[in-house]
Amino acid sequence: MRKSLRVAAVGAACAVAGAALYGTGVATAGQSTANSTHEPYNIGVLVKDIDTYYGTTLDSNGVYQASATSRYAEDLARLETDARRHIDKAAHQARHRGEKPAVVFDIDDTLLLSLDYEKKTNYTYNSATWASYVAQADRPAVFGTPELVAYAKSKGVEVFYNSGLKESQRADAVANLKKVGADVNLDSAHMFLKDAANPPAYLSSCATAAAWNCTTVQYKAGTRKHIESLGYDIVANFGDQYSDLDGGYADKTYKLPNPTYFVS
């Protein structure tokens, strides 16, 4: 479930204040969603902090963009530098063990930036406005991540996508990813989207055609387990939410910065 800024204000404030949340390691570290007995972080100040973090500007087309010189961009660059080193080394080790190395990427705010949507909806989620926004297939890239996709491919690492987008949004997602240069393995065998009407057998413990009851962690971890069952070793898993990363089936996780919303 995607939750609004107001629900996640304390956790988001911590995300803005500390780059430690954006590193690698245990996926649940540093994230709090519990109600506090203290006065929460002031939401007006928080929004200003988020804008400062992204270096948010309104371009000539009326679209909110992040700045390439922002703290957000700097945090991404550090993470991606580490990821390239890890992919290079882990891919070599996996092949030495006779395994097929793979990487897994979330899409929303991991490859495609949704800052403009968040700003224009006052950081609140609505399924209809979100669907309309995705259908435009015109989101900018998250700085450096399409290049990271290409880097993994150049090292002989298989690229997969594991997204909470709906199956009905596949064509829009593919078009947008191609537009930003993440044009690698954009077929149904590599891009896993949420198909509530026809869920895959490997999610049968929580999803059937009659009812989808998978949590985000169950869905994403179950999909990674399926990928590894095909003979791949997932050497790195990338996402902007801890729920993208929890549940295992990846040698290393990379939490990308996103102080604008929280997905449980």
Q: Does residue 67 sit within a domain?
A: no
- In a domain, residue 237? The reply is yes
Residues with Cβ within 8 Å of 163's Cβ and at least 6 positions away in sequence, in order, are 106, 107, 108, 173, 191, 192, 193, 194
Unique residue bearing structure tokens 């929580």 = 206
Q: Is residue 10 part of a domain?
A: no
Task: Please tell me the predicted confidence (pLDDT) of residue 218.
Answer: 98
Q: Are 146 and 152 in contact (CB under 8 A)?
A: no
Domain count across the chain: 1
The verdict on residue 235 lying in a domain is yes
Closest by Cα among 171, 148, 161 to 191: 161
Q: Is the pTM of this model over 0.75?
A: yes
Residue 8, in any domain of the structure = no
DSSP string, 147-204: HHHHHHHHTTPEEEEEEEEEGGGHHHHHHHHHHHT--S--STTTEEEE-SSS--GGGT
Report yes or no on 189 lying in a domain. yes
Q: The domain containing residue 184 runs over which residues? A: 80-255
pLDDT value of residue 132: 97
Sequence letter at residue 235: V
- In-domain check, residue 119: yes
Residue 54 lies in a domain: no
- pLDDT confidence of residue 41: 85
Distance of alpha carbon 131 from alpha carbon 236, whole angstroms: 29
Q: What is the CATH number of the domain that holds 241?
A: 3.40.50.1000
Name the stretches of the chain with pLDDT < 50.
Answer: 3-30
